[in-house]
Structure 1
Amino acid sequence: MTPQPGSGVVRAEATGQAAPAVDRALVDAVRPLLEANGAPGHLDRAAFDAALAVAVEQAVRASGAILGSHTFAQVCRAVRDELVGAGPLQPLLDDPLVTDVLVNGPREVWVERAGRLTRTRVDLGTVQDVRALAVRLAGAGGQRLDDASPTVDARLPDGTRLHAVLPPVAPRCPLLSLRVVRSRAFTLDELVAAGTLAPGVVAVLRALLVARANLLVSGATGSGKTTLLASLLSAVPHDERLVVIEEAEEIAPAHPHVVRLLARRANVDGAGQVELADLVRQALRMRPDRLVLGECRGAEVREVMAALNTGHEGGCATVHANAAADVPARLEALAALAGLGRDAVAAQAASAFDAVLHMRRERDGMRRLAEIAMVDRAPDGALRVAVAVTVDGDRAVPGPAWAALAARVGLRTAAGAA
């Protein structure tokens, strides 16, 4: 794997990285050669890789190094990662078992793999190298990250979600959090095989889809809300039109008719902002069979509830909540941002949403559908979420609101029954 001694092209691998660490001088030499061979921004992946190989070969030849075919391919990949990827972090992001990459310092890189956090041996160099990587990734996501704007949320070109914080907000070193967004939606049966769904709840979920029930998927960050929602939407009949509204493109159902609307932040002059609430109103004019909001996190909840109260069935949204029973308090807090009082929220939500699907992240790292609950109003008029199905291991246990759920979707057998 090592080229001729003293070449300066590749540093010996001593950090446990999946690829050799490329000398900065080589990257700097490749960049102008690559631009001379064709503007990278205007090339597709195959054309870019071809132009990159030519540029790397020219730069290596100029340095006097001799590389074997295997090492040359590794160097090309490492240079590509430095130019348009996440540098030394890219092999971690490419690991299909990795969901999160967390950088706490140059030699403090952690990954969540298969639901568990583990520390890697990746060495990012110096604190300044970490800062340069964070700034470059933010720029790739179209966001600004500097002393005047020391925090950023961005979406990288491959869909990876980036959150970065610079000193002095992060006292010792820039902090990076990268969440991998997988492009393939799982089927409901695959979620059963993975342990996310108990076998007995699949029939209930399919019945909710057939009955065009309006669903609210709740759970904590990283509990699998988006994964479940994408799987549910993949099971929607293919002759229906899905209009999906998100802050950033995450939901990727395996469905032939999906159109997307993405929110847009204001530019440096404070103009051009398009909020989720605006997009919900626009979506109503786009003939949606099912209206989908990726996440309710603010005043847009008012527009969603209003939309689902105007004859639009089969809609879906997600919301952060600790448990299904906590959803009313969460909706009230969000709706208060839109000026709605408690009574108005209860009236709107009870009519807008049929069921809550609550996801929970267990201590073993698994994400599981823990509860299915029905939304209605209590005798005192307050918004109520009553549990219809509780998942206990692999068993789906009927709860107090099972009869209401069965009546809504036309099920005759209890949850979990054959």
Structure 2
Amino acid sequence: MAGVVAARDGRRVEMDVTSVGEPGGRSGVPAGPTPGKDAGGTSPGTPVGQTASAVREEPAARAVPGWAFRRSGAVSGGAPAERAAPRVAQPSMGPASAVLPGAASGPGLGPGLGLGAASVRSSARTLTSSIPSTRSTSSANSATLRRRQGAVPDTPAVAGMLDGVRRRLAESGADPTPARVAQALREQGRVLGDAEILGAAEQLRSELVGSGPLEPLLADPSVTDVLVSAPDRVWVDRGGGLELAPVAFPDAGAVRRLAQRLATVAGRRLDDARPWVDARLPDGTRLHAVLPPVAVDCTCLSLRVVRPRAFTLDELAAAGTVPPGGDRVLCALVRARLSFLVSGGTGSGKTTLLSALLGLVGPDERIVLAEDSAELRPDHAHVVRLEARPANQEGAGLVTLEDLVRQALRMRPDRLVVGEVRGPEVAHLLAALNTGHSGCGTVHANAAADVPARLEALGTAAGLDRAALHSQLAAALSVVLHLVRDRTGRRRIAEVHVLERDPSGLVRTVPALRWGAEAFVAERGWPRLRELLRAAGLEERAAARETQR
């Protein structure tokens, strides 16, 4: 098959793209013989797998996202002493290197998301029907950012070619595989340089079967959140707070297309009639997007990256999330089978801490998780995970968190876990914890002392009056662990409270431990907590050594 027409040294050269993505195939071989190697060090006829590896970098060594390791020499402020910027692979520009980056790996969404290309085929027309022309001039800042990350050159020839290729692929309705992208490029019949061919192919691949400019960010193991508020305003959180990332989209239409395609992959609808979506992608990444005009300036895209494994309590202690000696108190809390809640604000590390604590549950116990969006990944041999489901376009098929809690009670749980208590399910959770089940969960609250009032508000929505809720709360829960995220981005356990009922019948929290200068400091609720922990074998003398009186 004829290949992409390229210009090199004033001559027209046809690049063979027939076998792109095929096992053992060749890619980027000039039609005429070219002795030796090119300037980029790539021999003519290099196998696809070898050439592709030259334009893709191996991800950095795995790091715990958002947690500063004291033992590894990092600063305790929540970020390593020297943090490297996200790396972007630079393609080889030699004359024989015009292969499609990522061709050897087959179809997929590329680093970070791992979504199949077939899942976006049915929405190709929808995603390109309102594509604005890329001939529109981007801001100087956006252009600078794209050049910095090695994006396709901003030339009228390339802009027109990309528009034509997008429409061609949308009309065909076929899977946008690398080979078909190359075919569409060839059919444009434009004379382009090798660098433009590589840039155009990579940009189209990332737009159609990848995550676009966000790929290097999602592949970074230290990244926990990626937020897009404008084409040239991409923010990333690596545990030290939000920072502007050196990436950009060509225009607002590119942000919209990516959001719609990711929603389609998640099996959800995102269009003018339904301008927002909250879903989970196949790899666990949480997706939230809002389209204009609800989002006034540009499509807003939020991605919460869920890593494939939970961090251990030792890792969190080394990171400074748990104070010295505090891990023994938490271990005793789990061994004593006390029911507890982890409270805190958004991004404070509630899910991370809860996953680590569930990993301490005995191997002979059965854990049943009920979550609105599956995020908990405890390192435990016997875990059952249930996830809520929204209604379909016809309004049928809704499965709420309240439904999941009811079903979980029929699955013989030793530990019933609600990922986030935020609605009527609080009534079923408290009822379950009053029938011999041990359980835990997370809740949004500004302080541990605010948790009873927060649960009271949720119980009212479930039809529980104040007296009934406090009666169940007093018998159901024992401890509240409250997390904060300070100005440096460091996440830590700020305080541990126990629950007690006052003479009026209302439940209030009493501080038992708080984070001091170096360790937990005992407060007036510590004797009560120590009494509860004795059931786990944490002797009074040993426990006293873990606190500063």
SS for the counterpart of 1:261 is strand
User: In the alignment, residue 397 of structure 1 is paired with which amino acid?
Assistant: V
SS for the counterpart of 2:508 is strand
Q: Which residue of 2 aligns with 1:351?
A: 475
CA offset digits 1:30-53 (Å, max 9, x no partner):
789995xxx79xxxxxxxxxxx56
Mapping 1:240-389, distance limit 5 Å: 240-313=365-438, 315-389=439-513
Q: Which residue of 1 aligns with 2:76?
A: none
In terms of fraction of residues, the more strand-rich structure is: 1
Choose from 233, 247, 257 the match for 1:132.
Answer: 257
What is the identity percentage for the equivalent residue pairs of Structure 1 and Structure 2? 52
Cα distance, 1:78 vs structure 2: 5.8
Choose from 410, 414, 418 the match for 2:544.
Answer: 414
Task: Assess, with a 3 A threshold, how the Cα gap between structure 1 residues 147 and 237 changes in structure 2: closer, same or farther.
Answer: same
SS for the counterpart of 1:296 is coil
Question: Contact between 1:265 and 1:273, CA under 8 Å: does it hold in 2?
Answer: yes
Question: Contact between 1:204 and 1:415, CA under 8 Å: does it hold in 2?
Answer: no
SS for the counterpart of 1:403 is helix
Cα distance, 1:375 vs structure 2: 1.4
Task: Assess, with a 3 A threshold, how the Cα gap between structure 1 residues 261 and 19 changes in structure 2: closer, same or farther.
Answer: farther
Q: Which residue of 2 aligns with 1:108?
A: 233
Q: Tell me, in whole angstroms, the C-alpha distance in 2 between the residues paired with 1:225 and 1:16.
A: 38
Choose from 299, 302, 308 the match for 1:174.
Answer: 299
Question: Contact between 2:522 and 2:547, CA under 8 Å: does it hold in 1?
Answer: no
Cα distance, 1:27 vs structure 2: 6.6
Q: Which residue of 2 aligns with 1:123?
A: 248
Instruction: After superposing the two structures, state which structure 1 stretch, 220-229 or 119-128, moved more.
Output: 119-128
How many residues align structurally? Answer: 399
Cα distance, 1:174 vs structure 2: 1.2
Cα distance, 1:252 vs structure 2: 0.6
Cα distance, 1:88 vs structure 2: 1.3
User: In the alignment, residue 523 of structure 2 is paired with which amino acid?
Assistant: G
Q: Tell me, in whole angstroms, the C-alpha distance in 2 between the residues paired with 1:242 and 1:27.
A: 47
Question: Contact between 1:16 and 1:121, CA under 8 Å: does it hold in 2?
Answer: no
1:165 maps onto 2:295 in alignment? no
Task: Assess, with a 3 A threshold, how the Cα gap between structure 1 residues 34 and 268 changes in structure 2: closer, same or farther.
Answer: closer
Instruction: After superposing the two structures, state which structure 1 stretch, 381-390 or 132-141, moved more.
Output: 132-141
Q: Tell me, in whole angstroms, the C-alpha distance in 1 between the residues paired with 2:431 and 2:202.
A: 50
User: In the alignment, residue 390 of structure 1 is paired with which amino acid?
Assistant: R
CA offset digits 1:56-111 (Å, max 9, x no partner):
6666777787869xx97x98876554334422112111111211111111111111
Q: Which residue of 2 aligns with 1:15?
A: 146
Question: Contact between 2:249 and 2:255, CA under 8 Å: does it hold in 1?
Answer: yes
- Rg (Cα) greater in structure: 2
Q: Tell me, in whole angstroms, the C-alpha distance in 2 between the residues paired with 1:292 and 1:195.
A: 25
Question: Contact between 1:217 and 1:229, CA under 8 Å: does it hold in 2?
Answer: yes
User: In the alignment, residue 283 of structure 1 is paired with which amino acid?
Assistant: A
CA offset digits 1:209-235 (Å, max 9, x no partner):
110011111111111000001000111
Q: Tell me, in whole angstroms, the C-alpha distance in 2 between the residues paired with 1:118 and 1:16.
A: 19
Q: Tell me, in whole angstroms, the C-alpha distance in 2 between the residues paired with 1:337 and 1:132.
A: 38
Aligned-residue Cα RMSD (Å) equals 3.1
Q: Tell me, in whole angstroms, the C-alpha distance in 2 between the residues paired with 1:226 and 1:17.
A: 35
Question: Contact between 2:178 and 2:205, CA under 8 Å: does it hold in 1?
Answer: no
User: In the alignment, residue 146 of structure 2 is paired with which amino acid?
Assistant: T
Q: Tell me, in whole angstroms, the C-alpha distance in 1 between the residues paired with 2:323 and 2:201.
A: 45
Q: Which residue of 1 aligns with 2:35?
A: none
CA offset digits 1:341-374 (Å, max 9, x no partner):
1111111111111111111111110111111111
User: In the alignment, residue 361 of structure 2 is paired with which amino acid?
Assistant: V
1:202 maps onto 2:327 in alignment? yes
1:149 maps onto 2:280 in alignment? no
Instruction: After superposing the two structures, state which structure 1 stretch, 337-346 or 56-65, moved more.
Output: 56-65
SS for the counterpart of 2:325 is helix
Q: Tell me, in whole angstroms, the C-alpha distance in 1 between the residues paired with 2:276 and 2:545.
A: 46
User: In the alignment, residue 470 of structure 2 is paired with which amino acid?
Assistant: A
Q: Tell me, in whole angstroms, the C-alpha distance in 2 between the residues paired with 1:325 and 1:344.
A: 20
Q: Tell me, in whole angstroms, the C-alpha distance in 2 between the residues paired with 1:200 and 1:34.
A: 60
Q: Tell me, in whole angstroms, the C-alpha distance in 2 between the residues paired with 1:305 and 1:415.
A: 34
Q: Tell me, in whole angstroms, the C-alpha distance in 1 between the residues paired with 2:471 and 2:234.
A: 48
Q: Tell me, in whole angstroms, the C-alpha distance in 2 between the residues paired with 1:194 and 1:312.
A: 32
Question: Contact between 2:181 and 2:205, CA under 8 Å: does it hold in 1?
Answer: no
Choose from 191, 207, 226 the match for 2:316.
Answer: 191
Cα distance, 1:4 vs structure 2: 6.0
Task: Assess, with a 3 A threshold, how the Cα gap between structure 1 residues 387 and 77 changes in structure 2: closer, same or farther.
Answer: farther
Cα distance, 1:238 vs structure 2: 1.7
Instruction: After superposing the two structures, state which structure 1 stretch, 274-283 or 74-83, moved more.
Output: 74-83
* Structure 2: runs of 5+ lacking an equivalent: 1-90, 102-133, 135-142
Mapping 1:5-44, distance limit 5 Å: 15=146, 20-21=151-152, 24=162, 35=174
* Structure 1: runs of 5+ lacking an equivalent: 41-51
Instruction: After superposing the two structures, state which structure 1 stretch, 156-165 or 54-63, moved more.
Output: 54-63
- Normalising by the residue count of structure 1, what TM-score does the alignment of the two structures yield? 0.86
Q: Tell me, in whole angstroms, the C-alpha distance in 2 between the residues paired with 1:415 and 1:177.
A: 44
